[in-house]
């Protein structure tokens, strides 16, 4: 079929369909549709991105249509492969000339179907023009017979001949509808192949325009058939018929494609997407960083496969960076271009922010971590409202209280209500998955808690700050952080930690998804949060879940008695502090002073051991005392089931702890990496697993 796409190329939007080029008449659109291998009556129109109005109804292909397309293409390919390479190149070079002559048409189509600005759409035209000219000129030389040195000089002659694959299957995405469609096809055609092409349904018109232009340039009509439809329906027959596969898309689909291609023993070329991250360091210039981030996120209308999809930055620089990033002209212009789309969908663009509980706890202790994360959510929510951007928080909750875990309904109650306005994302990690979701009844119960809690919290008043309560929390956070950092930053503490916990066993276990240390340095900042929390839990200090809270509460009681009374009387009305105090109480209940004394006995220097053990003991007793004063009832009376559960496990756990300490002492004396050392490590890892199961917590 020949399709004439010449004519007036002036861009005049159709009043009936804003954005549709006036030159794309109904008959011409139907001639484009005739290039699709489709035998049925089903037709669909993709929505234009900015207006959401339908573009052009195109027929949908079936699996049988794909097979028919391969039959046609294979017949055309036999004749095409017999043509001299120079003749095939002449077709592609004529396509190059036509492309530049008619570029306004394809620019119109890309803008209408894909939503790119004209400048970014032109980059695709330039890319394909350069590709067509380069391969059109070089193909005869690249494909000609090449003399190679024989195995036995003089006696043997060797020649290198290049044969076409046959029929190449090409699957191209929506984000570069011309570059990723025609770019792959040009090289395949020049090599003597035919192509069966499945473009994304959103941008099929651009691909069909390119096919029509190539036919006008002299390509046989059946050499580049197009099929349109869902990948789930057409992927299998396309793979079954192809002699070579070219795919651009998701990593998940690419794995399946590669597996199927391998089963058929055919080659494949896959360009797969990822999750590109931008990292902002503490010493970065914020103005330059914001400008670079805007370009990295929104270049080519944000459709570049290497565009940034997430930004990691220090908590201390979060708001200052976001101010600059959202004020940057590229960001502002991008948001303004999305205006019509937002109006149609009654929504604003969404910015996702990850909330990390693990490292903030390791750096400042549990109370400071929770308070500063809450404050940051409030500030970012206010900023997003002022900027007209929806904000969705993604809570990276770990498996332990020190890493963000805790009762789900209390966790949700402690969040700022306005922070749930755009939905909620959160993780469940480690042993909590099995504990909450391994059993159907438990899974339903926990999901109901999550849905009910999120719904309840999001429907409440958007105002949750109380100046007096915030002042109390700010002071408690400051005192708690000062006490916690005073311990972990004290000279000799890392040495105490290394000897008084099984951190070396955990680092040697090789069971995590990442190394225990970021670079291998023996520093607290280099150690990841999971082994840090895990080792304190194994030794029953559980330091990360309570240290500093006792001193903070005692200081408030001593220096500001009125605020202490207000806190004790209003604790139920202070969701965040109620949540933190309840979690601290749980952690203290799991802490066992007699067991940690056992582990501390492994510290060789008695002065070092005595100094830190006494500080930890004093803070532990102080924390228990202050929590008891707040609640006014003994722990066993308030939470009898937890107290009973801990009591039932205590004796068995203590035996396991004594066994682990004995094994650690012997293991540390064995030369590392020897068979004896490895055997002892395996025994130790059994105790680690047993204690973790008994405590129902890891890192």
Quick check: 617 and 593 in contact, CB under 8 A? yes
Quick check: 492 and 674 in contact, CB under 8 A? no
DSSP one-letter string for 525-594: TTB-HHHHHHHHHHTT--GGGTTTHHHHHHHHHHH-HHHHHHHHHHGGG-HHHHHHHHHHHHHHHH--HH
Residues 125-146 as b/e (b if ≥16 CB within 10 A, e otherwise) read bebbbebbbebbeebbeebeee
Of 271, 413, 482, 507, which residue is the catalytic one? 271
Give the mean model confidence (pLDDT) for residues 235-258. Answer: 91
**Which residues are bridge partners to 47 per DSSP?**
54
317 pLDDT band, cuts 50/70/90, is confident
Quick check: 76 and 194 in contact, CB under 8 A? yes
pLDDT of residue 11: 46
pLDDT at 107 over 50: yes
pLDDT of residue 399: 77
pLDDT of residue 341: 47
Share of residues in the chain with pLDDT > 70 (%): 91
Neighbours of 581 (CB within 10 A): 20
Three-class SS of residue 273?
A: coil
Give the mean model confidence (pLDDT) for residues 80-93. Answer: 95
CB-based contacts of 350: which residues, under 8 Å, 6+ apart?
A: 389, 390, 391, 392, 422
How far, in Å, CA of 211 to CA of 128, rounded?
Answer: 13
Per DSSP bridges, beta strands 350-356 and 310-312 are unpaired
Closest by alpha carbon to 627, among 433, 476, 498?
A: 476
Give the mean model confidence (pLDDT) for residues 19-37. Answer: 90
pLDDT at 8 over 70: no
Residue pLDDT, tens place only, 275-306? 788 898 888 999 999 999 988 887 766 667 77
Neighbours of 33 (CB within 10 A): 19
Give the mean model confidence (pLDDT) for residues 14-24. Answer: 72
pLDDT of residue 272: 84
Give the mean model confidence (pLDDT) for residues 640-652. Answer: 90
Closest by alpha carbon to 188, among 81, 116, 274, 284?
A: 81
pLDDT of residue 698: 66
Q: What are phi and psi of 272, to 5 degrees?
A: -110, 150
Residue pLDDT, tens place only, 429-441? 766 787 788 889 9
For 21-30, 74-83, 621-630, which range has the lowest pLDDT when averaged over its residues? 21-30
pLDDT at 343 over 50: no
How far, in Å, CA of 189 to CA of 274, rounded?
Answer: 29
How far, in Å, CA of 692 to CA of 530, rounded?
Answer: 13
593 pLDDT band, cuts 50/70/90, is very high
How far, in Å, CA of 368 to CA of 376, rounded?
Answer: 12
Cβ-based burial of 569 (10 A; exposed 0-12, middle 13-18, buried ≥19): exposed
For 148-157, 266-275, 350-359, 569-578, which range has the lowest pLDDT when averaged over its residues? 148-157
1 pLDDT band, cuts 50/70/90, is very low
For 485: left if phi > 0, alpha if psi spans -120 to 50, otherwise beta; the answer is alpha
pLDDT of residue 46: 84
pLDDT of residue 177: 92
pLDDT at 208 over 70: yes
pLDDT at 125 over 80: yes
SS (H, E, C) 504-530: HHHHCCCCCCCCCECCCCCCCCCECHH
Residue pLDDT, tens place only, 218-233? 999 999 999 999 988 9
Share of residues in the chain with pLDDT > 90 (%): 52
pLDDT of residue 302: 63
For 67-71, 422-426, 618-622, which range has the lowest pLDDT when averaged over its residues? 422-426
pLDDT at 382 over 70: yes
Task: Decide if 305 is catalytic.
Answer: yes
Q: 518 vs 341, which has greater pLDDT?
A: 518
Task: Kindly report the average pLDDT of the chain as a whole number.
Answer: 87
pLDDT at 542 over 60: yes
Of 305, 309, 413, 482, which residue is the catalytic one? 305
Quick check: 406 and 579 in contact, CB under 8 A? yes
pLDDT of residue 464: 61
Cβ-based burial of 360 (10 A; exposed 0-12, middle 13-18, buried ≥19): buried
Cβ-based burial of 549 (10 A; exposed 0-12, middle 13-18, buried ≥19): buried
pLDDT of residue 13: 47
For 36-40, 188-192, 523-527, 646-650, which range has the lowest pLDDT when averaged over its residues? 523-527
Give the mean model confidence (pLDDT) for residues 179-189. Answer: 93
pLDDT of residue 512: 57
pLDDT of residue 346: 47
**Which residues are bridge partners to 527 per DSSP?**
517
Can you list the domains of the chain with their CATH numbers?
59-147+159-272 (3.40.605.10), 277-288+301-466 (no CATH), 468-649 (no CATH)
Give the mean model confidence (pLDDT) for residues 326-354. Answer: 69
567 pLDDT band, cuts 50/70/90, is very high
Give the mean model confidence (pLDDT) for residues 293-321. Answer: 79
């Amino acid at each position: 079929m020949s399709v004439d796409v010449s004519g007036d190329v002036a861009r005049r939007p159709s009043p009936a369909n804003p954005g549709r080029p006036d030159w794309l008449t109904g008959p011409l659109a139907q001639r484009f549709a005739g290039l699709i291998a489709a035998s049925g009556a089903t037709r669909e129109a993709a929505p234009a991105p900015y207006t959401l109005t339908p573009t052009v109804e195109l027929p949908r292909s079936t699996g049988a249509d794909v097979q028919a397309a391969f039959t046609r293409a294979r017949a055309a390919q036999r004749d095409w492969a017999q043509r001299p390479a120079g003749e095939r190149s002449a077709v592609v070079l004529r396509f190059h000339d036509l492309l530049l002559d008619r570029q306004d048409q394809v620019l119109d189509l890309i803008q209408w179907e894909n939503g790119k600005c004209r400048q970014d759409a032109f980059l695709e035209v330039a890319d394909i023009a350069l590709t067509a000219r380069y391969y059109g000129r070089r193909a005869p030389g690249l494909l000609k017979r090449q003399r190679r040195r024989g195995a036995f000089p003089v006696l043997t002659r060797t020649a290198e001949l290049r044969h076409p694959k046959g029929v190449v299957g090409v699957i191209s995405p929506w984000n570069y509808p011309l570059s990723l469609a025609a770019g792959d096809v040009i090289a395949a055609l020049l090599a003597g192949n035919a192509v069966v092409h499945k473009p994304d349904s959103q941008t099929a018109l651009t691909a069909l325009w390119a096919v029509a232009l190539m036919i006008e340039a002299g390509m046989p009509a059946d050499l580049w058939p197009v099929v349109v439809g869902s990948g789930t329906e057409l992927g299998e027959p396309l793979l079954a018929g192809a002699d070579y596969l070219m795919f651009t898309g998701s990593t998940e689909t690419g794995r399946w494609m590669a597996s199927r291609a391998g089963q058929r023993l055919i080659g494949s070329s896959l360009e797969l997407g990822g999750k590109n991250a931008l990292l902002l360091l503490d010493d970065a210039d914020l103005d330059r960083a914001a400008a670079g981030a805007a370009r990295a996120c929104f270049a080519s209308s944000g459709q570049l496969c290497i565009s940034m999809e997430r930004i990691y930055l220090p908590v201390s620089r979060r708001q200052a960076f976001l101010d600059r990033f959202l004020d940057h002209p590229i960001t502002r212009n991008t948001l303004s271009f999305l205006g019509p789309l937002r109006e149609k969908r009654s929504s604003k663009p969404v910015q996702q922010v990850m909330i990390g509980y693990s490292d903030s706890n390791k750096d400042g202790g549990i109370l400071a971590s929770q308070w500063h994360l809450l404050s940051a959510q409030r500030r970012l929510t206010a900023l997003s409202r002022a900027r007209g951007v929806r904000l969705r928080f993604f809570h990276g909750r770990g498996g332990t209280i020190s890493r963000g875990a805790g009762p789900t309904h209390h966790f949700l109650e402690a969040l700022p209500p306005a922070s749930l306005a755009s939905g909620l994302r959160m993780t469940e990690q480690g042993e909590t998955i099995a504990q909450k979701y391994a059993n159907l009844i438990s899974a339903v119960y926990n999901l109901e808690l999550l849905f009910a809690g999120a719904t309840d919290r999001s429907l409440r008043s958007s105002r949750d700050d109380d100046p007096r309560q915030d002042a109390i929390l700010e002071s408690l956070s400051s005192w708690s952080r000062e006490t916690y950092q005073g311990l972990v930053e004290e000279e000799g503490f890392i040495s105490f930690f290394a000897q008084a916990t099984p951190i070396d066993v955990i680092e040697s276990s090789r069971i995590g998804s990442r190394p225990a240390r970021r670079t291998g340095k023996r520093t607290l900042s280099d150690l990841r949060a999971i082994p840090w929390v895990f080792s304190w839990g194994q030794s029953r200090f559980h330091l990360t879940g309570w240290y500093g809270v006792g001193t903070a509460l005692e200081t408030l009681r001593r220096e500001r008695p009125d605020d202490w009374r207000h806190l004790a009387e209003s604790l139920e009305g202070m969701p965040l502090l109620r949540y933190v105090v309840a979690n601290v109480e749980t952690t203290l209940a799991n802490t066992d002073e007699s067991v940690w004394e056992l582990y501390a006995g492994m510290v060789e220097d008695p002065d070092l051991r005595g100094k830190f053990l006494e500080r930890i003991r004093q803070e532990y007793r102080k924390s228990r005392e202050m929590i008891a004063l707040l609640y006014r009832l003994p722990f066993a009376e308030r939470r009898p089931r937890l107290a009973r559960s801990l009591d039932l496990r205590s004796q068995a756990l203590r035996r396991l702890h004594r066994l682990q300490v004995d094994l650690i002492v012997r293991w540390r004396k064995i030369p590392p990496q020897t068979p004896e050392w490895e055997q002892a490590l395996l025994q130790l890892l059994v105790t680690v697993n047993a204690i973790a199961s008994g405590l129902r917590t890891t890192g």
